[in-house]
Amino acid sequence: MNTTLKDGMELAQAVEKLEKEKTSDALVIIAPPYTHLSKVNELIDDVKLSAQNCASEALGAFTGDISPEMLLSTGAEYVIIGHSERRSIYNEDNELLNKKMKLALSTGLKPIFCCGELLEEREAGKLFDVIREQLAVGLKDITIDEMGKVVIAYEPVWAIGTGVVASPDQAQEMHKFIRDLLIDLFSEQVAEDMTILYGGSCKPSNADELFANPDVDGGLIGGAALKAEDFLAIVNAY
């Protein structure tokens, strides 16, 4: 929940301009607030557009919600589902997120599905159990073909906005666990092809070492994306 429409459009224009100057081959996706989507879509070409969330219902009396079909009509191609803030602040559970995933995929959106453990869950040694349940339930009954349209983002909740970052070894350990879990849930091909992003206080100063890990395929960037130059530095670290 950052930027007015004017500020958001200026940021999108700056990112689009810098996208043409990037030195990496990373795919760049931006996820502005709902109010910005249509206008931002008119300003970008190489950069892809994502929404930050979507409803679990296709239409009806759900005042304030935005359906996947509405998002598609703005030009959005992706949608973030299950972000840690949606889970913690709005109590979105794995079953609800599974419903959102199925609806988004059926509508034609490409979901960026988030998972991650709390500090107390990590300290209690439950980190792998938490991620296993989030993925097993959140991705339940999604087909192998549909999984080809899914991106997964690992968000260690204890490292979001805290300035604390998972070490490269911690990030790799969990990303490798997620990839291995996808073999059990789907197939080796799904696991091999899956893009798994790291999201947790990633910034220009630490992006290099995080992205150097074999199972870290990019980043889900929050606060560091609010300055186009910082965002480009992270993109170029990939």
Residues carrying an active site annotation: 83, 155
* DSSP line for 8-74: HHHHHHHHHHHHTT-SS----EE---GGGHHHHHHH-SSSEEEES---SSSSSS-TT---HHHHHHH
In terms of DSSP H, where are the helices of the chain? 5-19, 37-43, 68-74, 84-89, 94-107, 119-123, 127-138, 144-147, 168-185, 188-193, 207-211, 228-237
Contacts of 227 (CB under 8 A, 6+ apart): none
Tokens of 143: 């087909």
Say how far residue 83 (Cα) sits from the centre of its chain: 7
Name the one residue in this structure whose structure tokens are 């009954």.
Answer: 141
Taking alpha carbons only, the member of 113, 139, 130 closest to residue 199 is: 113
Return the residue matching tokens 């995929």: 105
117/121 Cα distance (integer angstroms): 6
> Is residue 186 within 8 Å of residue 165, measured between CB atoms?
no
Strand-pair category, 29-30 with 48-51: parallel
